[in-house]
Amino acid sequence: MIRFEAVSKIFATNKKQTPAVSHVSLSIAQGEIYGIIGFSGAGKSTLLRLVNLLETPSSGKIIVGGQDITALKPRELRRLRRRIGMIFQTFNLFNARTVFGNIAYPLKLAGTPKAQIKTRVGELLRFVGLEDKADHYPEQLSGGQKQRVGIARALATSPDILICDEATSALDPETTGDILKLLKRVNEAYGITILLITHEMHVIRSICDRVAVMENGKVIEEGSVYEIFASPKHPTTANFIRSVQNDQLSPKLLETLKSKHQGKLFRLVFKGGTTSEPVLSRAARLHNVDFNIIYGSIQELKGQLFGSLIVEFQPADEPSSVDRLVAQLAQTVEVREVIDHES
């Protein structure tokens, strides 16, 4: 659906060259929700804006729906842009137009007859849950409601692709959750491919199928959300994951735990189909070791379990039983003893 082939974008200002995007190659399949994550300045916005040619690439090809868009004539480009809806962090609504007027705007531009506009806007208002707000002005709406209007407007011309530029970054956590659910519904109900950029890993975890991690204009890691969460390869990716995992011990917390617990501490990392309880309790019973789950979390991600626990093992009789337990657990989960601060 969308393919970047060795795409670069260099901004040239006052004799200074800024390579915002460097040799990026990516493929986004039809119907997928694809996330691009990175810190500020990584090049995410520039990459997103290349999809509808709000920026033109310095080199490389961008293929959308089988067409190399860098070669489009102005008229074809206008047609392409109608197939790509866009929503923004700051909503970008027209303050002087009502909610109805905002959503109707792209349809008016496309020359849609009045009666058809009325029907379509009505449908969209129902879809985003704002039927009662048609005559309100943006300043009378909350941030979440404004973004719903932004989404309805972006969907007005029935695009195949929706691109989202930090669409939830200005919203509180609860409203963020509602907007993410709405985006998921957009994807499922209309089969629209969604490409979003964010600096928040929880956004990726909530709705994306695949993710690319960007740093200094480059894609440093790419894959399914599960693969990336379960086995991050790049330290920046691991940092993003830590920001939502809440299973890392600070040196201070480790000290406190060690002073309270006499047994050995182990981190058990669960990936894929293993479940925490039966694996752990069965093995502990077999080897006559008491266990105590101290810290961590296991969660479901894309239908698979994933996460880690810090567990204390205390042998009921002989100390070597802990070694045998660890050897058995290591066949199904990753096990490592927690001795010092974990980096």
Point out which residues bind ligand ATP (CB under 6 A).
11, 13, 18, 20, 38, 40-46, 199
- We find the least distance from the C-beta atom of residue 168 to ligand ATP, in angstroms, to be 13
Contact 143, 175 (CB under 8 A): yes
Question: What's the CA gap between 122 and 125, in Å, rounded?
Answer: 5
* Residue 11 or 94 having the CB closest to ligand ATP: 11
* Residue 36 or 249 having the CB closest to ligand ATP: 36
- We find the least distance from the C-beta atom of residue 11 to ligand ATP, in angstroms, to be 3
- We find the least distance from the C-beta atom of residue 213 to ligand ATP, in angstroms, to be 11
* Residue 87 or 117 having the CB closest to ligand ATP: 87
* Residue 45 or 248 having the CB closest to ligand ATP: 45
Give the 3-state secondary structure of residue 323. helix
Question: What's the CA gap between 126 and 181, in Å, rounded?
Answer: 15
* Residue 101 or 150 having the CB closest to ligand ATP: 150
H or E stretch covering 50:
helix 44-51
- We find the least distance from the C-beta atom of residue 171 to ligand ATP, in angstroms, to be 16
- We find the least distance from the C-beta atom of residue 20 to ligand ATP, in angstroms, to be 3
Name 340's Cβ contacts closer than 8 Å, sequence gap at least 6. 254
Contact 309, 293 (CB under 8 A): yes
* Residue 38 or 307 having the CB closest to ligand ATP: 38
- We find the least distance from the C-beta atom of residue 175 to ligand ATP, in angstroms, to be 20
Q: What is the largest CA-CA distance in the chain?
A: 83
On the CB side of 173, CA atoms within 13 Å amount to 1
Question: What's the CA gap between 315 and 282, in Å, rounded?
Answer: 15
Q: Please give the backbone phi and psi of residue 36, each rounded to the nearest 5 degrees, phi first.
A: -120, 120
